[in-house]
Structure 1
Amino acid sequence: MENKIEDQEMKRELGLLDSTMLVVGSMIGSGIFIVSADITRSVGSAGWVILIWVISGLITLTAALSYGELSAMFPKAGGQYVYLREAYNKFVAFLFGWSTFTVIQTGTIAAVGVAFAKFSAYIFPAVGPDHILFTLESFQFNAAQLLSVVMVILLTWINSRGVKNGKIIQTLFTITKILSLFGLIIFGLTTAFRSEIWQSNWAEPWKMVQWKAGSNTAIAIGGSALFAGIISSMVGSLFSSDAWNNVTFIAGEIRNPKRNIGLSLFLGTLIVTVIYILANVMYTAVLPMVEIAHAPADRVAVAASQYIFGTSGTIIIAVMIMISTFGCNNGLILAGARVYYTMAQDGLFFKQAAHLNKFEVPGWGLWAQCIWTCMLCLSGTYGALLDYVVFVVLIFYILTIGGIFILRKKRPDAERPYKAFLYPVLPALYIVAAAVICIGLLIYKTDTAGYGLLIVLLGIPVYFISQRNLKNAR
């Protein structure tokens, strides 16, 4: 049953540059500076590390190109939620919205907030996780958790004051981090390139090994262990490449959305994929594989910058990551509330979220998202949050791209200003690849992936209870 609230007018403030910067800014957070350490521990050699990033980039580009068809068909606020509703039904759309609120969007914001605090502590030790503010039985509240919470609250407040404020921050911070990353790559490959390191790292690029924790020993692996290593390593690279779809959430505020959303998806994911691959090539030119695998606190970029910039390198890279994570979370916070706004208009979320505030943005949804994100900042570690998010988000990417096939049959005559690139081959390949990764995560990361699946399934009784209450209220 519909409980549609009359649409309020959103301002179309965002052009192609703004929407592309939202894609890039939401994707580039902390992952590229950190997760290569875990990838190297899992797969060991330079060739495999680069290949993991290439595969993740191709998977992301394939999904983005496929989403272009859906974004052109339904250029409305809510994006992926709307695509699922139109292809399937309100129930499937609700499960996505539920998962977005409980883990996908809020978990990603929390993970990036934790990373922001982690690198801020490099410059300001007083805000580090070792600085315990108070203890309540087994729970300890530290300064890093406080900083991540303050960051989320500040960005929520800024975005609650209008989309123009969020747009300015997003574009400024994203351009800054793109230039900073390219600067790091160029300096690394030109001034800090060490031929002996490069030759050693690339002597056996396809030797699959795993590095023992706290040891310089690498163990050769194959068979199921090799597959497990690939699957485990892709958690970090896929998480680092995620959030590209956030631009679809704010379709109601983008000018010429039928053109600009699909184009910004392609341009943004391509820019990020190129940056990520080049950054990892630079890592292998500057650091031995063992140092990448065992970088202190997984701060690979910090370890590389010490060779590139000397003793000041750690400060430079810490500032870069603070800028990167701050801008990333701005985009995530800005976009997420638009999903809850559209859900509420369908009667599937708190009705207060269906209204825009005086600044013509979904203020109630922004603050609801903020509160739950702060709870996750207090409860989760960076690694655990990654595992939860990647498994759940892949499930809905599979369903959404499957929706292209469904809509081609349900609405063959619908206007399609843009059609999925190399349909049906590329969309089908994405579905297969993502399904293999999901199965692998359930097998090899059962605890965290299983909890992610449980969160999705908990949405089923919530949906039917909410629908029953809605029916009784009438």
Structure 2
Amino acid sequence: MDDDSIRNMKESQNGSNDHSVDRRTEDKQPVKATVLQKEVGLLSGVCLIVGTMIGSGIFISPKAVLLYSGAVGPCLLIWAACGVLATLGALCYAELGTMITKSGGEYSYLKEAFGSLVAYLYSWTTVMVLKPSAFAIITLSFAEYASTPFYPGCTPPFVVTKCLSVAAILLIVSINCLSVRLASYVQNFFTLAKLFIILVIVGAGIVFLVQGNTENFSHAFDGRSASVGAIGLAFYNGLWAYDGWNQLNFITEELKDPFRNLPLAILIAIPLVSLCYVLVNVAYFSVMTSTELLLSPAVAVTFGDRVLYPLSWIVPLFVVFSTFGSANGSCFTAGRLAYVSGREGHMVKILSYISLKHYTPSPALIFNGILAIFYTIPADINTLINYFSFAQWAFYGLTALAVIVMRFTRKELHRPVKVPIVVAGLMVLVSCYLVLAPIIDKPELEYLYCTIFILSSLLLYYPFVHWKVSWARKLMRPITIYLQLLMEVVPPEKTE
């Protein structure tokens, strides 16, 4: 976008020739610079992590974790181990986030540690597949739970769940485009709602245990032994429920006092979620046998029907709240990654533009929403989860490796938080296991497709990013101008 177009855009929006940092409205109130604002405090940070982690996973993944682990005892151990692993990973991210105070999460850290190419591979895979597919998975879960009460005794039609999922995506994207503060309020409200239903489920489970319903725990380790690959898939599905522990790192530039609030929010949120998850699974097994849990089309709804009747309707209602809040958090952070990637030249520039009216990265948010709608087409949620986890944990491992690498290559950087290097090393090893074990145990074409997709981005990287061919810029310029005028967005201003 050329300077004259940008200037005209701002003048038409604000009626002034001054730069937006110095503009004043008619009532003499200062107008904010056209950059993302620091509007996320500690409470909102905790709610973003908790609200994104507690979503569809705890209401869908229990079946898959039990299926692959083989018995109640190993299932509960895997849920606890996933919580420990998420905490260790988050501590590594706390060091990175307070050392490199840029938004974008893994993208910024990989770029600093390994250079532009690795960061590009991450941004391509995550912006194009991982983030929108996660958004789609969560909204599909929302649609499944929202529609189940209207189809008692049978599975809701695919067309209903797909349409509800798309409607949720459109609503969430609209909220996030309108206001950062509004999106934070929505996140805080739905986080409180999901903590309430977690408390109800755990409380009901404790009552059943006190009444002597402990049969499922008396022989908790009896059952078939799981293979190495099956354990890996059990961890995949458990860690899917924990996914979100790194979400605050995607919005570091919008976080108030990140040196304090980033590590503090992590230390509050993740142990809280881990405790909730283990207790919820204990509650499930206090009411349902392993076979009943595996046969249930919606675990939390079945639990509510048995325990809370005639008030069982509150469970699907609050699960709908939970999944909606998680989808909102996923959309919030996904937009920031696309925004930072566009700003660094790894995605089209229009994705790095900011709304003049609302100070939100609306082009990036809309792009993520469009891709999420596309990913609602596949019917099998579990296949999407496995596909998502395979690629995601490869990048988690590289990011943990970045902690180790920068201890030697970037010694001069200030580290307000410094984790033991053995923690980062353990995360690297666990990530390698989670990536390789299922492939070795049961090779499937989806893993090959994922790898080919990631490497195919090199066909775009070298001509358009590395060599910056001139004809591509000429081709994109009129498209960028049109989209800028349509959405009323401009490049972020440099306030340094």
- On whether the aligned pair clears a TM of 0.5, the verdict is yes
Alpha-carbon distance, 1:238 to partner: 0.8
In the alignment, which residue of structure 2 is the partner of 1:102? 128
Distance 1:201 1:165 in 2: 44
Write the mapping of 1:236-315 to structure 2, written as runs, cut at 5 A.
236-295=237-296, 297=297, 299-313=298-312, 315=313
Offset of 1:347 from its aligned partner? 1.0
Shift of 1:233: 1.5
Aligned 8 A contact 2:229 2:439 in 1: no
> Once the 2 structures are TM-superposed, how far is the Cα of residue 304 of structure 1 from its aligned partner?
1.9
Which aligned pairs between 1:386-397 and structure 2 lie closer than 5 A? 386-397=385-396
| TM-score, normalised via structure 1 length | 0.88
**Where does 1:206-221 land on structure 2 (aligned, <5 Å)?**
206-207=221-222, 209=223, 220-221=224-225
1:355 aligned partner = 353
Give the CA deviation at 1:129.
6.9
Query: Which residue does the alignment assign to 1:328?
Result: 326
> Residue 129 of structure 1 contacts residue 145 of structure 1 at CA under 8 Å; is this kept in 2?
no
Identity of aligned residues (%): 26
182-191 or 403-412, which deviates more:
182-191
What amino acid does structure 1 have at the position aligned with 2:388?
V
Per-residue CA deviation, residues 228-266 of structure 1 (Å, 9 max, x unaligned), is 321121221111101221211111111001221122123
d(CA) in 2 for partners of 1:320, 1:449: 35
Relative distance call for 1:293 and 1:131 in structure 2 (3 A) is closer
Q: Distance in 1 between matches of 2:362 and 2:244?
A: 21
Cα distance in 2 for partners of 1:18, 1:265 equals 12
Q: Give the letter for the 2:428 counterpart.
A: I
> Hey, what's the Cα distance between the residues in 1 that align with 2:211 and 2:461?
57
TM-superposition CA deviations, 1:342-371 (whole Å, max 9, x none): 111111111111111121111101111111
Larger radius of gyration: 2
Specify the SS of the correspondent of 2:218: coil
**CA shift at 1:188, angstroms?**
2.1
1:403-422 equivalent positions in 2, closer than 5 A:
403-420=402-419
Of 430, 441, 444, which aligns to 1:433? 430
Residue 138 of structure 1 corresponds to: none
Which 10-residue stretch deviates more, 257-266 or 103-112?
Answer: 257-266
Name the counterpart of 2:117. Answer: 91
Shift in Å at residue 407 of structure 1? 0.8
Distance 2:34 2:394 in 1: 31
Moved more, 272-281 or 30-39: 30-39
Give the drift of 1:45: 1.8
Q: Which residue of 2 aligns with 1:212?
A: none
Shift in alpha-carbon separation, 1:34–1:445, aligned structure 2, 3 A: farther
Cα pair distance change 1:273/1:117, threshold 3 Å:
same
- Match of 1:76, SS? coil
Q: For 1:430 and 1:469, locate their aligned partners in 2 and report how far apart those are by CA, in whole Å.
A: 35
Aligned partner of 1:371 in structure 2 is 370
Tell whether 2:175 aligns with 1:178.
no
> What are the superposed Cα offsets for residues 168-208 of structure 1, whole Å, 9 maximum, x if unpaired?
0001110111122112111221157552x41x32222223x
> Compared with structure 1, are the counterparts of its residues 447 and 393 closer, same or farther at alpha carbon in structure 2 (3 Å cutoff)?
same
SS in 2 for 1:435: helix
Tell me the alpha carbon deviations over residues 130-172 of structure 1, each in whole angstroms, 9 at most, x when there is no partner: 546xxxxxxxxx1211110110011101100120110000011
Q: Does 1:233 align with 2:248?
A: no
1:51 Cα offset (Å)? 0.5
**Structure 2 residue ranges without an equivalent (≥5):** 1-5, 7-18, 20-32, 474-496
How far apart are residue 15 of structure 1 and its match? 0.4
Matched, 1:384 2:383: yes
Moved more, 437-446 or 48-57: 437-446
Q: Structure 2 residue aligned with 1:11, among 18, 37, 43?
A: 37
- What's the counterpart of residue 397 of structure 2? 398
Asked if 1:340 is matched to 2:338, the reply is yes
Q: Does 1:159 align with 2:144?
A: no
Are the structure 2 counterparts of residues 30 and 174 from structure 1 closer, same or farther at C-alpha, using a change threshold of 3 Å? same
1:399 maps to a residue whose letter is L
Gaps in structure 1 of 5+ consecutive residues: 133-141, 210-219
Go from structure 1 to structure 2 and tell me whether the alpha carbon gap of 1:409 and 1:106 turns closer, same or farther (over 3 Å shift). same
Q: 1:424 aligns with which of 415, 421, 424?
A: 421
Q: Note closer, same or farther for the CA distance 1:201–1:169 as it changes in structure 2 (3 Å cut).
A: same
Per the alignment, residue 81 of structure 2 pairs with: 55
Do 1:129 and 1:144's aligned partners in 2 also have CA atoms closer than 8 Å?
Answer: no
In structure 1, what is the Cα distance between the partners aligned to 2:70 and 2:239?
18
C-alpha RMSD of the superposition? 2.1
Query: Structure 2 counterpart of 1:37, which letter?
Result: K
| Aligned mates of 1:472, 1:398 — CA distance in 2 | 36
Distance of aligned partners of 1:445 and 1:268 in 2 relative to their CA distance in 1, 3 Å threshold: farther
- Do 1:129 and 1:143's aligned partners in 2 also have CA atoms closer than 8 Å? no
Residue type of the partner of 1:120? A
Aligned equivalents of 1:164, 1:124: Cα separation in 2: 34
Question: Contact 1:45 / 1:201 at 8 angstroms: preserved in 2?
Answer: no
TM-score (norm 2): 0.84
Q: Distance in 2 between matches of 1:185 and 1:449?
A: 37
Partner of 1:27: 53
- Tell me the distance in 2 between the aligned counterparts of 1:257 and 1:441: 37
For 2:244, the aligned partner's letter is: A
Q: Which amino acid aligns with 1:370?
A: G
- Give yes or no for contact 1:103–1:388 (8 Å, CA) kept in 2: no
CA distance in 1, matches of 2:310, 2:445: 40
Which residue of the partner structure matches residue 214 of structure 1?
Answer: none
Give the whole-Å Cα distance in 2 for the aligned partners of 1:145 and 1:14: 32
What is the letter of the counterpart of residue 286 of structure 2? Answer: A
Q: CA deviation at 1:307?
A: 2.4
Q: 2 CA distance for matches of 1:131 and 1:406?
A: 50
Secondary structure of 1:186's counterpart equals helix
Q: Which residue of 458, 462, 467 corresponds with 2:456?
A: 458
Q: Which amino acid aligns with 1:262?
A: P
Structure 2 equivalent of residue 69 of structure 1: 95
Task: Work out the CA distance in 2 between the residues paired with 1:243 and 1:459.
Answer: 25
